[in-house]
Amino acid sequence: METRQLGTDGPQVSCICFGAWPIGGGMGAVADQQAIEAVEAAIDVGMTFIDTAESYVASERLIGKAISGKRDQVFLATKVSGKDHSREHIEQALEASFQALGTDYMDLYQLHSPQPQWPIDETMGVLSRLRDQGKIRYIGISNYSAEQTAEVIKYGPIHSSQPRYNMLNREAEESILPVCLENGIGVIPHSVLAKGHLSGRYQPGHTFDADDERSEFASFTRDGMKRVIEVTSKLALWSQDHGRDMIQLAIAWALAQSSITSPIVGAKSVEQVIHNAKAADWKLSDSNLAEIDDILDGIVVDR
């Protein structure tokens, strides 16, 4: 699989990142062995950039089992997810991640979300010390606005930002992506499949289990999905006309955006991993992107 550089002077990472929220159980229960095999398949197809978080339920533990004996083959990214950004909590969270993942260093350590009650200069000071100690290699942020990003980089370099970004929600284009591009920050967007809206698998009236986060999203109600499907059904037909499907279109579209380093794409099975990986060789042309924009017609889908 093609690799791309993560941020200015950063490492080369696979152009598609394996998103480990689904295997942790955030979108419904996944059997341990199935989850482990999905991670192993990702490594086999060259999707060696793996993103998880301390809050992703069983995700870190399962990844740890899957990469046992293969640590040097993967670029591991995790996040401190709690609202506590004190030195004590960050250090404890990192050690817990080490234990679950079976490693003694993290390639990319990220702040999962802004916590304004903790001064960012102090938080960055903690992360910088951990980097200097060799416990983490690179620092990243997730779900930070352009203004918050600008504040973070006053206190040290970061190599990645993880905003929500997909064909149905392009808010990041307004300010987050330009700030990242201007400051040499790699962008690894999450929700590239719009939580499944861009998978083509769900129709109005679909009921999600209580342990699936989408059971609480307005866009997945019967009325919400009707509106979305008016657009996604056209995207599905366009994809079919090009010998692909909408999942590969969503990934290829993200890869075609000049500011994107590696879209984070979740998968629950070996089959999904292999299917997702094939999107890496679909190069959308400028005319393709213009046609897609015409279909999207400015739609915005929030949660």
Q: Under a CB-based contact definition with an 8 Å cutoff, are residues 267 and 19 in contact? A: yes
- The distance of Cα 185 from the centroid of its chain, to the nearest Å, equals 15
Q: Domain of residue 70: give its range.
A: 3-296
Q: In whole angstroms, give the CA distance from residue 147 to residue 79.
A: 20
Q: Say if residue 203's pLDDT is above 80.
A: no
pLDDT of residue 276: 98
Q: Can you tell me the mean pLDDT for 37-46?
A: 98
- Judge whether 303 lies within some domain: no
Two structure tokens written together for 279: 């999107």
pTM of the model: 0.94
- Judge whether 220 lies within some domain: yes
Please tell me what DSSP assigns to residue 196.
G
- Judge whether 79 lies within some domain: yes
pLDDT, tens digit, 9 for 90 and up, residues 1-19: 999 999 999 999 999 999 9
Residue 109, Ramachandran bin (φ over 0: left; ψ between -120 and 50: alpha; else beta): beta
Of the candidates 56, 138, 144, 165, the residue annotated as catalytic is 56
Q: Can you tell me the mean pLDDT for 220-247?
A: 89
- Judge whether 145 lies within some domain: yes
Q: In whole angstroms, give the CA distance from residue 180 to residue 40.
A: 31
Q: Say if residue 213's pLDDT is above 80.
A: no
pLDDT, tens digit, 9 for 90 and up, residues 62-104: 999 999 999 999 999 999 998 999 999 999 999 999 999 999 9
pLDDT of residue 206: 67
Closest CA to 77 of 192, 196, 191, 188: 188
pLDDT, tens digit, 9 for 90 and up, residues 250-282: 999 999 999 999 999 999 999 999 999 999 999
Q: Give the angle subtended at the CA of 184 by the CAs of 21 and 193, to the nearest 5°.
A: 30
Q: In whole angstroms, give the CA distance from residue 143 to residue 160.
A: 11
- Judge whether 301 lies within some domain: no
pLDDT of residue 202: 66
- What rounded mean pLDDT belongs to the chain? 94
pLDDT, tens digit, 9 for 90 and up, residues 108-164: 999 999 999 999 999 999 999 999 999 999 999 999 999 999 999 999 999 999 999
- Judge whether 257 lies within some domain: yes
Number of domains in the chain: 1
CATH code where residue 144 lies: 3.20.20.100
pLDDT tier at 199, thresholds 50, 70, 90: confident
Q: In whole angstroms, give the CA distance from residue 59 to residue 61.
A: 6
pLDDT of residue 293: 97
- Judge whether 190 lies within some domain: yes
Let me know if 202 is a catalytic residue: no
Q: Say if residue 26's pLDDT is above 80.
A: yes
Q: Under a CB-based contact definition with an 8 Å cutoff, are residues 187 and 261 in contact? A: yes
As a whole number of Å, the end-to-end CA separation of the chain is 31
